[in-house]
């Protein structure tokens, strides 16, 4: 159960997309759990089905997978964003993604069963999901285009634009992994600025 003093920010987030009735606010308050994670804590492992989605109130998290023993960063999430292993969370099956914290992170946690309850009892929650996921989907399409059709320098510029509020908080090795370029190349591009 969420502490009522923490819920203002997440309610403001929902209200960007839908009107929150008092009954929906009550259900959210009863179903959201406020958690704090230490820097470097793994909050989801690919070996498990993702049962929770996290709304970041303060902090920074990363979604990544491991290939040939190397961590490959897929995306970053910070304040006022949700993070989970999307396919695992929505389809309740194993996926390749792990999630860890890059800073001490305060967030709300919502269990998949609670989300299903909210969808079934509050049609506006489905509207929220559709509208908010449109933003995420657009981001992924931009990322795919950037990865396929741009130079290393353009990839980095796109990264800085996409993550303009947080790129300075992300370790260089994780940025190079996200961009799919060598850390030496990234250092050279950054030195040119």
Q: What is the pLDDT of residues 103-117, one digit of tens each?
A: 999 999 999 999 999
Q: Give, for 11, the enclosing helix (H) or strand (E).
A: helix 7-15
Among 85, 108, 133, the domain boundary falls at 133
The answer as to whether 90 is a domain residue is yes
User: Do 162 and 116 share a domain, yes or no?
Assistant: no
User: Do 42 and 83 share a domain, yes or no?
Assistant: yes
145 pLDDT more than 90: no
CATH number at residue 25: 2.60.120.10
3 pLDDT more than 60: no
Query: In this predicted model, which residue has the larger pLDDT, 144 or 80?
Result: 80
The answer as to whether 138 is a domain residue is no
Burial of 175 from C-beta contacts in 10 A (0-12 / 13-18 / 19+):
buried
d(CA 20, CA 70): 43
Selection from 154, 45, 142 nearest residue 100 by Cα: 45
User: Do 154 and 78 share a domain, yes or no?
Assistant: no
User: Do 15 and 88 share a domain, yes or no?
Assistant: yes
The answer as to whether 53 is a domain residue is yes
CA angle 48, 82, 107 (to 5 degrees): 85
User: Do 38 and 109 share a domain, yes or no?
Assistant: yes
User: Do 96 and 46 share a domain, yes or no?
Assistant: yes
User: Do 193 and 117 share a domain, yes or no?
Assistant: no
**What is the extent of the structural domain holding 165?**
150-193
92 pLDDT more than 80: yes
User: Do 190 and 120 share a domain, yes or no?
Assistant: no
The answer as to whether 92 is a domain residue is yes
User: Do 120 and 162 share a domain, yes or no?
Assistant: no
User: Do 98 and 30 share a domain, yes or no?
Assistant: yes
**164 token code pair:** 């303009």
* Mean of pLDDT values over 67-94: 93
Count of domains observed in the chain: 2
The answer as to whether 139 is a domain residue is no
Selection from 97, 110, 103 nearest residue 61 by Cα: 103
48 pLDDT more than 70: yes
User: Do 187 and 127 share a domain, yes or no?
Assistant: no
Torsion on CA atoms 136, 137, 143, 148, rounded to nearest 10: 170
Selection from 90, 99, 105 nearest residue 47 by Cα: 99
Q: What percent of the chain has pLDDT over 90?
A: 76
> What is the structure's pLDDT at 146?
77
Q: What is the pLDDT of residues 161-184, one digit of tens each?
A: 888 899 999 999 999 999 999 999
**83 token code pair:** 């993070």
The answer as to whether 141 is a domain residue is no
142 pLDDT more than 90: no
User: Do 71 and 157 share a domain, yes or no?
Assistant: no
Helices (H) and strands (E) in the chain, counts: 8, 8
* Mean of pLDDT values over 126-148: 80
């Amino acid at each position: 159960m969420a502490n009522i003093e923490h819920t203002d920010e997440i309610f403001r987030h929902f209200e960007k997309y839908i009107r929150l009735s008092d009954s929906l606010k009550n259900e959210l308050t009863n179903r959201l759990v406020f958690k704090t994670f230490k820097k470097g804590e793994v909050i989801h492992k690919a070996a498990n089905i993702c049962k929770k989605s996290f709304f970041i109130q303060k902090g920074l998290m990363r979604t990544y997978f491991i290939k040939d023993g190397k961590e490959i960063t897929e995306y970053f999430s910070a304040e006022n964003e949700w993070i989970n292993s999307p396919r695992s969370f929505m389809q309740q099956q194993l996926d390749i993604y792990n999630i860890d914290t890059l800073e001490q992170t305060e967030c709300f946690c919502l269990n998949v069963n609670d989300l299903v309850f909210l969808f079934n009892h509050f049609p506006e929650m489905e509207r929220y999901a559709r509208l908010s996921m449109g933003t995420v989907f657009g981001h992924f399409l931009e990322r795919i285009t950037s990865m396929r059709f741009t130079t290393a320098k353009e990839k980095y510029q796109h990264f800085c634009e996409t993550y303009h509020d947080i790129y300075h908080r992300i370790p260089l090795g994780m940025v190079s992994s996200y961009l799919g370029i060598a850390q030496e190349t990234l250092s050279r591009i950054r030195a040119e600025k």
